[in-house]
Amino acid sequence: MEKSINVTLKIWRQAGPKAKGAFETYKLDNVSTDSSFLEMLDVLNERLVKERKEPIAFDHDCREGICGMCSLYINGHPHGMDPETTTCQLHMRRFSDGETITVEPWRSTGFPVIKDLIVDRSAYDKIIQAGGYVSVNTGGIPDGNAIPIPKYAADEAMDAASCIGCGACAAACKNGSAMLFVAAKVSQLALLPQGKVERAARAKAMVGKMDELGFGNCTNTGACEVECPKAISISHIARLNREYLSAKFKD
């Protein structure tokens, strides 16, 4: 039997990047506990449209925990309180009847607010453009087993590659650091033969771009790993530091 709850929503509203924002309160009754958090917001927006009010702007796309666009700060946690979960995978059964839920956009200098709950995350794209790729000629398409790769290296590279670039790491960090994201992207390439050729230039370029875009320094508190929906390990940050220092010593 389907259950429903009543919730109070305190949602950040901001008309534009330079506008002054504030929390607005909405009461929503008979919310199905089987609905996802985003579906609940859809229901609220349908009501606001019927009332001829401005609907709440929020990002979403795949709704399958793959793209990372559903980036909301819910009750003090990026993507909500469930570990290894994106906002679109968070269900209303995790909340209690009568609960007040606070919803905010990412809070980081590198992610300026566009409108309401939507932030500009193009900074991550710029970091990738700075060096998160392989540009050397690796020849034609080789057989899958032609290049021997130790299993531990392949496993670690795959773990790092699971990063979806949602920005939860920077949002969770009190310094707004993007170190976990950068580390994951540097690590996944540094572990594989195809990425080793440009490893020094890559580490310097991506860290340099991260600093240029206003992200803070790593706090070493581990908040990024705890809040990451894909459980990216901070051990990759240690590898990034080694890659960066090694590149600087070579200079």
For position 1, what pLDDT does the model report? 62
Residue at 248: amino acid letter? K
Q: Could you identify the residue written with the tokens 């193009």?
A: 122
For position 138, what pLDDT does the model report? 65
Query: Coil, strand, or helix at residue 209?
Result: helix
For position 147, what pLDDT does the model report? 80
Q: How far apart are the first and last CA of the chain?
A: 66
Phi and psi angles of residue 8, each rounded to the nearest 5 degrees, phi first: -110, 130
For position 146, what pLDDT does the model report? 78
For position 251, what pLDDT does the model report? 81
For residue 13, what are the β-bridge partners? Answer: 22
What is the distance between the alpha carbons of residues 165 and 144, in angstroms, rounded to a whole number?
A: 27
Q: Mean pLDDT, consecutive 10-residue segments, the chain of 251 residues?
A: 91 96 97 96 98 97 94 96 96 96 95 97 97 82 78 94 97 96 96 91 96 94 96 96 93 81
For position 144, what pLDDT does the model report? 65
The angle formed by the CA atoms of residues 111, 58 and 109, to the nearest 5 degrees, is: 10
* Nearest in space to 192 (alpha carbons), one of 243, 156, 244, 232: 156
For residue 8, what are the β-bridge partners? Answer: 27, 100
What is the distance between the alpha carbons of residues 241 and 206, in angstroms, rounded to a whole number?
A: 12
Query: Coil, strand, or helix at residue 219?
Result: coil
Q: Could you identify the residue written with the tokens 């009754």?
A: 29
Which pTM value belongs to this model?
A: 0.92
Which domains does the chain show, CATH number per domain?
4-104 (3.10.20.30), 122-250 (1.10.1060.10)
